[in-house]
A and B are shown apart, each in its own frame.
Chain A
Amino acid sequence: MLSAQERAQIAQVWDLIAGHEAQFGAELLLRLFTVYPSTKVYFPHLSSCHDATQLLSHGQRMLAAVGAAVQHMDHLRAALSPLADLHALVLRVDPANFPLLIQCFHVVLASHLQDEFTVEMQAAWDKFLTGVAVVLTEKYR
């Protein structure tokens, strides 16, 4: 359950990301692969050559999905249903990996935005992304 204040914080975070989806998304993936090398198993097409174009393209796609989740933060299950199906049936990323991605997301935002990314914003964003991860893994069994 998101409070009105949390909703506002989440929207604020998205405002800081919007327009930089490719750049932030690519860095997110790069940090994920560097810090948690085991996550590369889920991206065989991406992680073997660290091709900048591919990272930017996939990063853009992932963050665009996050943006869609922000737009529908009050009905995530409906909005993310196709992505939940994809993760359950095709991708089957072990749920333990989502907190790793979330940690890297905070680091990307903190290092780029510094004081603009406040503690309150991190709290709300963490809660929101954790909720997204729950929805994406809900159909696994």
Chain B
Amino acid sequence: MVHFTAEEKAAVTSLWSKMNVEETGGEALGRLLVVYPWTQRFFDSFGNLSSPSAILGNPKVKAHGKKVLTSFGDAIKNMDNLKITFAKLSELHCDKLHVDPENFKLLGNVLVCVLAHHFGKEFTPQVQAAYQKVVAGVANALAHKYH
């Protein structure tokens, strides 16, 4: 069970409140598909993924990224209950989507890079540490119901 200190929670929620979830979601998913191209295997129906600019401009990537990151926002509101919060989604990713849990770690790391890009110096080592803890917690929660 992951435990977050008051400082970690404050750092996470403060940065999250300044973020544009819609744009950041699209960027994070797009970046995942560019940096780790094999992750495109889940998105055959998304149309043109032939180049970095095609991927980043793809409306389906943006829409799906927004959906994923909005869901991530639930994690931010429930940092002490990640496994319960993501139980249903975990089952979905295992039974219907067949996503290797390794991919949750990749997306989490890419999201951290996107935050670093946006927030620059404000994304201190301490803030990074808090966010890496959150994304690891979410990744574990999403993998928890796999069987």
Chain A residues with a Cβ under 8 A of chain B:
27, 30-31, 34-36, 103-104, 106-107, 110-112, 114-115, 117, 119-120, 122-123, 126
Question: For the complex, what is the distance from the CA of A115 to the CA of B30, rounded to whole Å?
Answer: 15
Question: For the complex, what is the distance from the CA of A75 to the CA of B121, rounded to whole Å?
Answer: 35
Residue from the set B35, B114, B117, B120 with the largest chain A CB neighbour count within 10 Å: B117
With contacts A120-B34, A122-B31 taken as known, whether A107 is within 8 angstroms of B52 at the C-beta atoms is no
With contacts A114-B120, A119-B35 taken as known, whether A34 is within 8 angstroms of B129 at the C-beta atoms is yes
In the bound complex, residues from chain B placing their C-beta under 8 Å from that of A34 are 125-126, 128-129
Q: B30, A107: Cβ atoms under 8 Å?
A: no
With contacts A106-B113, A110-B113, A110-B116 taken as known, whether A120 is within 8 angstroms of B52 at the C-beta atoms is yes
C-beta contact mask, B16-36 vs A, less than 8 Å → 1, else 0?
000000000000001100110
Question: Which 4 pairs, one residue from A and one from B, show the smallest C-beta to C-beta distance?
Answer: A34-B125, A110-B116, A111-B116, A110-B117
Question: For the complex, what is the distance from the CA of A106 to the CA of B28, rounded to whole Å?
Answer: 14
B38-69 residues with Cβ-Cβ distance < 8 A to A are 52, 56
Q: B35, A122: Cβ atoms under 8 Å?
A: yes
Q: B116, A107: Cβ atoms under 8 Å?
A: yes
With contacts A31-B128, A111-B121, A112-B120 taken as known, whether A119 is within 8 angstroms of B109 at the C-beta atoms is no
- Chain B nearest CB from A35 CB (Å) reads 4
Pull 23 A–B residue pairs with CB atoms less than 8 Å apart, ordered by A: A31-B125, A31-B128, A34-B129, A35-B128, A36-B132, A103-B113, A106-B113, A107-B112, A107-B113, A107-B128, A110-B116, A111-B116, A111-B117, A111-B120, A111-B121, A117-B117, A119-B30, A119-B34, A119-B35, A119-B56, A122-B35, A122-B113, A123-B52
Q: A35, B52: Cβ atoms under 8 Å?
A: no
- Chain B nearest CB from A109 CB (Å) reads 8
In the bound complex, residues from chain A placing their C-beta under 8 Å from that of B116 are 106-107, 110-111
Question: For the complex, what is the distance from the CA of A122 to the CA of B119, rounded to whole Å?
Answer: 17
In the bound complex, residues from chain B placing their C-beta under 8 Å from that of A30 are 125
Question: For the complex, what is the distance from the CA of A114 to the CA of B122, rounded to whole Å?
Answer: 12
Option from A35, A110, A126 in Cβ contact (under 8 Å) with B129: A35
C-beta contact mask, B74-116 vs A, less than 8 Å → 1, else 0?
0000000000000000000000000000000000010011101
With contacts A35-B125, A35-B129, A122-B113 taken as known, whether A111 is within 8 angstroms of B119 at the C-beta atoms is yes
* B123 interfacial by beta-carbon distance below 8 Å: yes
Residue from the set A106, A110, A112, A117 with the largest chain B CB neighbour count within 10 Å: A110
